């Protein structure tokens, strides 16, 4: 060092300690390596400034009151660095805590770097003022003022040059100095893979379409959005179109429209103005674009967060065919420009990126190496940042070390647990959900309850959230999913021909990148109250919190168990009576409810999913008989004849959903459905291919409000007494292609407000007295191709009927009645039928 600062001023002592701690630990701690390396970069930039400041302050006796807060941060730094270097890899909750503390220290050093530079500039200006005062005095005694001024200004220049160029450059690169913003497009990484196709699509979207002025490039954190944006700016075709009018601005969470406009001034080489108001900056931008005329301008707004949405609103006002805006963001910003979603890397591109990141040569081409590399790359799930970080962490390590890491991941450890940089990238999106988004956070965590690589039924989430989060309206759950989708924390998949407003969500599904699912599970581990307990598909290999004997039992509200077979382990550490939602996932030909289910006195929601291809036999159904609080049951791909084999009564059950189940034997003559479910209000039967008819006994469900039977192709008849369901409000018979008619008693459903017979291809006529259904508000009758006429009594619906959804053909049937109906009641919806949404993702 230039001087022994330990004996000097108050600032040098903690700085020296921190400097030495970082220097020693940077080579030791792999877990926090990226953060510690950033700290080392900042501390190296600070060192010459601290040296100079300490020497001057000691000589002049100047106090350091301005830097007291920075001193406190630096005093804590060495202890934090030591904790990080000694942290065990399995203590994941502390890893995230220490990561945040390191970031705070990093930000403090960044601010210190700025303050010291500003202080030096301030002090030098004071020096110049003092010099000129001396000049005034000297002039009176006839001294050569010019010579003195030249001498003093030369000293000032030399002092300015002594300021660390590294520090100045570091500050400018960070974009923290308010008088300068860099609008130069950065160079993309030396090696990029999998972006040729997206680059071409992005050019087609933004450059070839005059109707598109703004494109929002969106994907989860670490997916390569910024890399694609920089490649776009450096593309020869793009540069040829925009010439020197390409401006690249990193926005992050600190949007400043005035500063961006100042950056445009700076790139144009004009004098940089100071805009007092946003309106003045906007006026200049309009003027600038007008002066450019037919010369195209490209503005890239990189890493825009929801807090900076106002920027898009402003730039949306000045959009035009010659002013193109490319936005990169984790959020989708619906309503602003055209959306482009960047997908994960395919297997081949992921392998290429990984080999490059790990610096793998020909020596890794053996069969053993190839198998191991393939397993590790699959763990990264096509996520570019994860691939690069994992590759770098394994670079230069032995084959045995690689095997050890892969074994840890195969036993349930996550890349998020071991790679802090990946965690930070994804975690920031989760943390961005503020206090108002607290319930959105809870909903995100719930998604971790479902197995990886599976689509999650929205109907299942609706059932969960109705009880866990008191979302008593189905559409409220969907709005939360839409928010997660907007922030790239999940993807909501629906049928393209879904009709808005009918609240039919059985054909809505959620998909999620596996690393985001791992993030959700990671967050559940941090919860000290363990409100969610997720037991993975490692057979009876329980998580550590269940293997350990403890005096404090776990009291989860949500319990999720995934297994390849029967789960028979005793959950001795769990207060089973506290469980409100139970999610069971399995992949086997037959499955029995675990015996401990009957102890779940407070269970309200049961979701059972067979992830195999064919329905599995579901046994021990009688265990549910003791659950007095059970309100909702959802069964998927199971065969349930056992319902009829044992006496069963679930008095609290309000809703039952059967999806792709084998239920042909369940509704036999001996089974009294009204006795088993006396207070049932909703019954949903979807894609049950063996359902031929419903028993008349079903009509004794006097509390039933919704009966939904869809995509049951051999259902040929409804019960003749269906009109006895006096409280029925919704009757949905969608895509029951063999159903020939509606029973005449249907007209007795005086509370029915929605009738859906869409895609019922065999229905030839409606009940003649359909006009007596005085509460009927909406009818969906698309693709009822054999229906040739409507009953005259349709006219009696004129006072209440609000909407009829048709196709072009069935719309013609309503033309004679249009004079009697309100304008716009009959609406034709274009058909776009497909089943791609049913695929497993």
Q: Which of 178, 209, 197 is nearest to 319 (CA)?
A: 209
Rounded to whole angstroms, the Cα distance separating 131 from 146 reads 12
CA-to-CA dists, residue 255 to 229, 261, 278, 303, 523, angstroms: 19, 12, 12, 10, 29
Q: Does residue 738 contact residue 716 with C-beta atoms inside 8 Å?
A: yes
Element (H, E) at 199: helix 196-207
User: 10 Å Cβ neighbour count for 456?
Assistant: 24
User: How does strand 509-511 pair with strand 532-535?
Assistant: unpaired
pTM score > 0.75 for this model? yes
Fold classification of 693-841 is 3.80.10
DSSP state at residue 511: E
Rounded to whole angstroms, the Cα distance separating 168 from 116 reads 10
Per the DSSP assignment, residues forming a β-bridge with 658 are 635, 685
User: 10 Å Cβ neighbour count for 144?
Assistant: 10
Per the DSSP assignment, residues forming a β-bridge with 250 are 302
* CA dihedral angle for residue 700, residue 701, residue 704, residue 709, rounded to 10 degrees: -80
Q: Which residues contact 340 (CB under 8 A, 6 or more apart)?
A: 198, 201, 202, 205, 215, 216, 217, 218
Q: Which of 771, 715, 722, 717 is nearest to 746 (CA)?
A: 722
- Out of 1.10.10.10, 1.10.8.430, 1.10.40.50, 2.160.10.10, the CATH code matching 347-421 is 1.10.8.430
Residue-wise DSSP of 351-372: HHHHHHHTT--GGG-SHHHHHH
Rounded to whole angstroms, the Cα distance separating 583 from 586 reads 10
Q: Which residues contact 837 (CB under 8 A, 6 or more apart)?
A: 493, 494, 495, 507, 509
User: Is 344 buried (19+), middle (13-18) or exposed (0-12) by CB count in 10 A?
Assistant: buried
- Superfamily of domain 196-341, CATH level 4: P-loop containing nucleotide triphosphate hydrolases (3.40.50.300)
Three-class SS string for 607-645?
EEEECCCCCEEEECHHHHHHCCCCCEEEEECEECHHHHC
Residue-wise DSSP of 269-337: TS-----SSHHHHHHHHHHHHHHHTTS-EEEEEEEE-GGGHHHHHHHHHT-BTTEEEEEEESS--TTSS
Rounded to whole angstroms, the Cα distance separating 582 from 630 reads 11
Q: Which residues of the chain have pLDDT under 70?
A: 1-182, 253-254, 267-273, 276, 362-364, 435-436, 496-501, 537-551, 565-566, 568-569, 642-645, 666-671, 831-841
What are residue 507's phi and psi, to 5 degrees?
Answer: -115, 25
Q: Does residue 214 contact residue 314 with C-beta atoms inside 8 Å?
A: no
List Cβ<8 Å contacts ≥24 apart for 27-33.
28/85, 29/84, 29/85, 29/87, 30/393, 31/84, 31/87, 31/89, 31/95, 31/418, 31/420, 32/84, 32/95, 32/98, 32/99, 32/102, 32/420, 33/420
Per the DSSP assignment, residues forming a β-bridge with 606 are 582, 633
**3-class secondary-structure state, position 431:** helix
pLDDT score recorded for residue 186: 83
Residue spans per domain, the chain: 5-174, 196-341, 347-421, 433-515, 693-841
Q: Which of 801, 807, 773 is nearest to 787 (CA)?
A: 807
pLDDT score recorded for residue 77: 62
Summarised one tens digit per residue, pLDDT across range 371-428 is: 999 999 998 989 999 999 999 989 888 889 999 988 888 877 778 877 888 888 888 8
Number of H helices, E strands in the chain: 25, 24
pLDDT score recorded for residue 63: 52
**3-class secondary-structure state, position 583:** strand
**CA–CA–CA angle 710, 713, 719 (5° rounding):** 70
User: Is 546 buried (19+), middle (13-18) or exposed (0-12) by CB count in 10 A?
Assistant: middle
Q: Which residues contact 574 (CB under 8 A, 6 or more apart)?
A: 533, 546, 553, 554, 555, 556, 559
DSSP state at residue 465: H
pLDDT score recorded for residue 34: 62
CA-to-CA dists, residue 191 to 80, 185, 224, 392, 582, angstroms: 35, 17, 12, 14, 46
Rounded to whole angstroms, the Cα distance separating 660 from 610 reads 10
User: 10 Å Cβ neighbour count for 190?
Assistant: 6
Q: What is the CATH number of domain 433-515?
A: 1.10.10.10
pLDDT score recorded for residue 614: 86
Rounded to whole angstroms, the Cα distance separating 805 from 825 reads 8
Rounded to whole angstroms, the Cα distance separating 379 from 385 reads 12
Rounded to whole angstroms, the Cα distance separating 510 from 494 reads 9
Among left, alpha and beta (phi > 0; psi -120 to 50; other), residue 254 is beta
Q: Does residue 746 contact residue 793 with C-beta atoms inside 8 Å?
A: no
Buried b (16+ CB within 10 A) or exposed e, 170-188: bbeeebeeeeebbbebbeb
Q: Which of 729, 644, 723 is nearest to 681 (CA)?
A: 729
DSSP state at residue 4: -
Q: What is the separation, in whole angstroms, between the first and last Cα of the chain? A: 59
Q: Does residue 385 contact residue 223 with C-beta atoms inside 8 Å?
A: yes
DSSP state at residue 794: G
How far, rounded to the nearest angstrom, does the alpha carbon of residue 830 sit from its chain's CA centroid?
31
**3-class secondary-structure state, position 539:** coil
pLDDT score recorded for residue 87: 55
pLDDT score recorded for residue 832: 54
pLDDT score recorded for residue 343: 93
**3-class secondary-structure state, position 246:** strand
User: 10 Å Cβ neighbour count for 557?
Assistant: 17
Q: Does residue 630 contact residue 656 with C-beta atoms inside 8 Å?
A: no
**3-class secondary-structure state, position 652:** coil
Rounded to whole angstroms, the Cα distance separating 256 from 595 reads 60
């Amino acid at each position: 060092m230039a001087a022994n600062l330990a004996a000097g001023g108050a600032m040098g002592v903690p700085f020296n300690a921190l400097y030495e701690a970082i220097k020693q630990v940077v080579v030791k701690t792999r877990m926090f390596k990226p953060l510690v390396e950033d700290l080392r970069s900042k501390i190296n930039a600070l060192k010459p400034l601290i040296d100079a400041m300490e020497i001057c302050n000691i000589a002049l006796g100047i106090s350091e009151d301005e830097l007291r807060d920075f001193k406190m941060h630096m005093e804590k730094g060495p202890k934090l660095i030591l904790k990080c270097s000694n942290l065990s890899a399995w203590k994941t909750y502390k890893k995230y805590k220490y990561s945040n503390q390191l970031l705070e220290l990093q930000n403090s050093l960044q601010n210190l770097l700025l303050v010291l530079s500003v202080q030096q500039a301030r002090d030098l200006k004071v020096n110049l003022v003092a010099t000129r005062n001396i000049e005034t005095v000297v002039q009176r005694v006839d001294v050569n003022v010019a010579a003195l001024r030249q001498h003093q200004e030369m000293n000032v220049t030399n002092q300015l040059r002594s300021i660390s160029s590294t520090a100045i450059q570091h500050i400018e690169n960070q974009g923290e100095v308010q008088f300068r913003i860099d609008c130069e497009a950065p160079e993309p990484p030396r090696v990029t893979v999998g972006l040729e196709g997206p680059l071409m699509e992005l050019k087609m979207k933004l450059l070839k379409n005059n109707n598109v002025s703004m494109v929002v490039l969106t994907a989860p954190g670490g997916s390569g959005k910024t890399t694609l944006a920089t490649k776009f700016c450096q593309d020869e075709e793009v540069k040829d179109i925009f010439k020197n009018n390409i401006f690249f601005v990193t926005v992050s969470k600190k949007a400043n429209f005035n500063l961006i406009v100042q950056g445009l001034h700076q790139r144009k080489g004009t004098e940089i103005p100071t805009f007092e108001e946003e309106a003045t900056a906007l006026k200049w931008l309009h003027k600038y674009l007008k002066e450019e005329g037919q010369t195209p301008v490209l503005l890239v707004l990189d890493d825009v967060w929801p807090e900076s949405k106002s920027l898009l609103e402003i730039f949306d006002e000045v959009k035009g065919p010659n002013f193109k805006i490319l936005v990169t963001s984790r959020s989708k910003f619906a309503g602003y420009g055209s959306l482009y979603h960047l997908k994960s890397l395919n297997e081949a591109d992921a392998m290429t990126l990984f080999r490059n990141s790990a610096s793998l040569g020909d020596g890794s081409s053996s069969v053993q190496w190839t198998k191991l590399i393939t397993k590790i790359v699959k763990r990264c799930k096509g996520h570019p940042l994860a691939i690069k970080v994992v590759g770098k962490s394994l670079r230069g390590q032995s084959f045995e070390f690689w095997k050890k890491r892969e074994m840890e991941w195969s036993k349930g450890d996550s890349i998020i647990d071991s790679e802090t940089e990946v965690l930070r990238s994804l975690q920031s999106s989760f943390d961005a959900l503020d206090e108002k988004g607290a319930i959105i956070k809870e909903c995100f965590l719930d998604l971790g309850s479902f197995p990886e690589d599976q689509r999650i039924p929205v109907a299942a989430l609706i059932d969960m959230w109705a009880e866990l989060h008191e979302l008593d309206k189905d559409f409220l759950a969907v709005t939360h999913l839409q928010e997660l989708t907007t922030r790239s924390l999940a993807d909501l998949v629906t049928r393209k021909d879904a009709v808005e407003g009918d609240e039919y969500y059985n054909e809505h599904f959620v998909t999620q990148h596996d690393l985001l699912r791992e993030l959700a599970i990671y967050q559940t581990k941090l919860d000290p109250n363990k409100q969610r307990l997720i037991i993975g598909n490692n057979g009876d290999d329980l998580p550590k919190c269940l293997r350990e004997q403890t005096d404090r039992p776990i009291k989860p509200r949500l319990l999720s168990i995934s297994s390849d077979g029967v789960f028979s382990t005793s959950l001795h550490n769990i207060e089973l009576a506290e469980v409100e939602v139970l999610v069971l996932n399995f992949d086997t030909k037959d499955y029995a409810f675990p015996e401990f289910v009957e102890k779940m006195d407070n269970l309200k929601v049961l979701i059972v999913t067979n992830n195999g291809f064919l329905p599995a036999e579901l046994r021990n159904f009688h265990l549910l008989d003791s659950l007095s609080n059970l309100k909702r049951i959802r069964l998927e791909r199971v065969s349930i004849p056992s319902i009829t084999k044992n006496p069963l009564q679930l008095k609290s059950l309000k809703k039952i959903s059967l999806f792709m189940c084998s239920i042909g034997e369940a509704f036999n003559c001996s089974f009294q459905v009204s006795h088993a479910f006396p207070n049932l209000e909703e019954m949903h039967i979807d894609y049950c291919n063996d359902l031929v008819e419903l028993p008349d006994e079903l009509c004794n469900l006097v509390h039933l409000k919704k009966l939904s039977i869809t995509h049951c192709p051999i259902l040929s008849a409804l019960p003749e007494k269906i009109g006895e369901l006096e409280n029925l409000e919704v009757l949905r018979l969608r895509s029951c292609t063999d159903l020939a008619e509606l029973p005449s008693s249907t007209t007795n459903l005086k509370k029915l407000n929605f009738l859906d017979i869409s895609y019922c291809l065999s229905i030839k006529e409606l009940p003649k007295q359909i006009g007596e259904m005085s509460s009927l508000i909406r009818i969906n009758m698309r693709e009822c191709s054999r229906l040739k006429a409507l009953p005259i009594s349709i006219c009696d619906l004129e006072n209440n009927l609000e909407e009829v959804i048709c196709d072009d053909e069935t719309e013609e049937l309503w033309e004679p009645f249009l004079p009697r109906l309100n304008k716009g009641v009959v609406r034709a919806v274009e058909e776009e039928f497909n089943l791609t949404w049913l695929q497993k993702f």
